[in-house]
Amino acid sequence: MGNNPMMNVDQNGKFWNLIISAAIGGIINWASNGAKFNAKGLGYFGVGAAAGAAGYGVGSAVAGSAQATTLGSSIAKGSVSGFYGGASGGFVSGAGNSWTNGASFGNGMNVGLNTAGTGAMMGGITGAIFSGLDYSFRRNRFVAIERNTSIETNEDGSLNPSTETLNDFSDKAFSKYKFRNKSNLIYKEGYVESINTTYGAFTDPVATNGVYDIYFSKSSFSSKWNLYNQMGHEYLHVAHLSTLGKNWVRAYSEYAAYKWNSLVSKDKYFSKMANSYFNVNILRNQSTLNNLIRPKYMQYGNWGIFTTIPKFIR
């Protein structure tokens, strides 16, 4: 049962984001070139739509699926994504508009290359700014943990990767957790990464003497904010396994755990991850959600895992 709340693929919504980007690009380009309801106006709309789709598609592909866990990596990721997305959209827009205006193939290509350069520069700058702001907003949700001086960190905000650190962090950040005696926190260098490099942590669903092993990768220790997400997520899996036994269903457990990540962080990324499990694995069955998942998998407070940052860790 491998998870990484900060490094998972968001399979939900990309198609519609692509469509929306195309529509916005088409409307803007059409309006910027006279807003005419004729064949040429349709051509401008088509160019803008292609540019919008290209910018979003390339930017998303370059960005990849991993969510940045530090301010520096977030800015770098946004800058690179914006650079390539802006270059792609700029090229399509410049060349396409030139050809719509009757330019030769060669002239259109030259204009496209020039606008690609401008688009890359602007995209890189705006991508870095917005990614940095987004990261800061998400991180501020966990300022109570970050300011808790009883949990020591290195100068870059990371924690020393060790089993001792995990146990110490759990004692301070999850002191009310009711299944601590059924959870064995483990850091074994390279072990999680050898199984799957995208995992931040995973819980072995097969208990040993009634205790479930939870393994953490080195990336889990990048910040208190990240470790809090990882540990709470895995602790919910243990709560589900402990209370449901053979009736435990992984898809339901993942939905509930990501929903907790979403509730505590107010981050839409986690909400999308939860919905991806609900939409694909539960087939949008509202009855299952209301009658099974919520009463059996989402009793966060009853298990000592809260949907707001608790006062006892501030």
> Would you list the domain boundaries of the chain?
12-140, 158-313
Q: Is the pLDDT of residue 48 over 50?
A: yes
The DSSP result for 166-192, as a single string, is HHHHHHHHSTT-TTGGGEEEEE-TTHH
Mean pLDDT confidence for 233-239: 97
- 279 falls in which pLDDT band (50, 70, 90)? confident
More confident residue, 81 or 145: 81
pLDDT of residue 141: 53
3-state helix, strand, coil in the chain (%, to 5): 65, 5, 30
pLDDT of residue 15: 74
Query: What pairing do the DSSP bridges indicate for beta strands 183-187 and 2-3?
Result: unpaired
Instruction: Find out whether 258 and 277 touch, Cβ atoms under 8 Å.
Output: yes
pLDDT of residue 156: 83
More confident residue, 7 or 30: 30
Q: Is the pLDDT of residue 314 over 60?
A: no
Q: Give the rounded percent of residues in the chain with a pLDDT score beyond 70.
A: 85
Cβ within 8 Å of residue 48, ≥6 positions away: 25, 26, 27, 28, 29, 30, 93
Rounded Cα distance, 163 and 231, in Å: 13
- 311 falls in which pLDDT band (50, 70, 90)? very low
Instruction: Find out whether 270 and 254 touch, Cβ atoms under 8 Å.
Output: no
* CA-to-CA dists, residue 246 to 6, 207, 236, angstroms: 28, 12, 16
DSSP classification of residue 35: -
Mean pLDDT confidence for 90-118: 93
Name the 3-class secondary structure at 211: strand
pLDDT of residue 168: 93
How does pLDDT run across 11-45, given as a tens digit for each residue?
A: 345 677 888 989 999 999 999 999 999 999 999 99
Q: Is the pLDDT of residue 173 over 70?
A: yes
How does pLDDT run across 209-230, given as a tens digit for each residue?
A: 999 999 999 999 998 888 999 9
Name the 3-class secondary structure at 203: strand
Q: Is the pLDDT of residue 97 over 80?
A: yes
Rounded Cα distance, 282 and 158, in Å: 37
pLDDT of residue 306: 85
Q: Which of 20, 18, 91 is nearest to 51 (CA)?
A: 91
pLDDT of residue 10: 40
- What one-letter code names the amino acid at 228? Y
More confident residue, 305 or 144: 305
> pTM score, two decimals?
0.57
Q: Is the pLDDT of residue 149 over 80?
A: no
pLDDT of residue 147: 55
Instruction: Find out whether 91 and 71 touch, Cβ atoms under 8 Å.
Output: no
- What one-letter code names the amino acid at 198? T
- 312 falls in which pLDDT band (50, 70, 90)? very low
How does pLDDT run across 137-147, given as a tens digit for each residue?
A: 666 555 555 55
- What one-letter code names the amino acid at 154? N
- 170 falls in which pLDDT band (50, 70, 90)? very high
Mean pLDDT confidence for 141-161: 71
| Residue labelled with tokens 């800058």 | 79
Residues in the chain: 314
Six token digits for residue 177? 């957790």
Please give the torsion angle defined by the CA atoms of residues 132, 134, 138 and 141, in that order, rounded to the nearest 10 degrees: 90
Mean pLDDT confidence for 245-274: 89
DSSP classification of residue 282: S
Q: Is the pLDDT of residue 171 over 70?
A: yes
DSSP classification of residue 291: I
Rounded Cα distance, 89 and 283, in Å: 36
Rounded Cα distance, 152 and 119, in Å: 43
pLDDT of residue 189: 93
Q: Which of 268, 263, 269, 288 is nearest to 278 (CA)?
A: 288
Q: Is the pLDDT of residue 186 over 70?
A: yes
Q: Give the rounded percent of residues in the chain with a pLDDT score beyond 90.
A: 53
Q: What are phi and psi of 157, to 5 degrees?
A: 90, -5
